[in-house]
């Protein structure tokens, strides 16, 4: 499982995750395709790590 803070970069300086598709009382909901595209653009090393696992 991937830590959302790690993916969005909250601990690494990048703080602009993809826009939410919806906002619920528990928090934002993002489309998986939007998150994957964002990761590919902003944090490609995470995709490389996932492929190796």
Average pLDDT of the segment spanning 36-40: 89
Q: Is the pLDDT of residue 1 over 50?
A: no
Q: How many structural domains compose the chain?
A: 1
Domain limits at 29? 4-52
Percentage, residues of the chain above pLDDT 70: 62
**What are the structure tokens assigned to 18, written together?**
């993809």
pLDDT digits (tens, 9 = 90+) for 24-36: 999 999 999 998 8
pTM (two decimals): 0.58
What pLDDT was estimated at residue 30? 94
Report the sign of the C-alpha dihedral through residues 34, 1, 8, 42, in that order.
negative
């Amino acid at each position: 499982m991937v830590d959302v803070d790690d993916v969005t970069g909250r601990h690494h300086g990048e703080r602009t995750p993809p826009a939410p598709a919806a906002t619920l009382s528990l928090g934002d909901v993002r489309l998986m395709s939007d998150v994957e595209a964002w990761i590919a653009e902003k944090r490609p090393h995470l995709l490389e790590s996932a492929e190796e696992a």
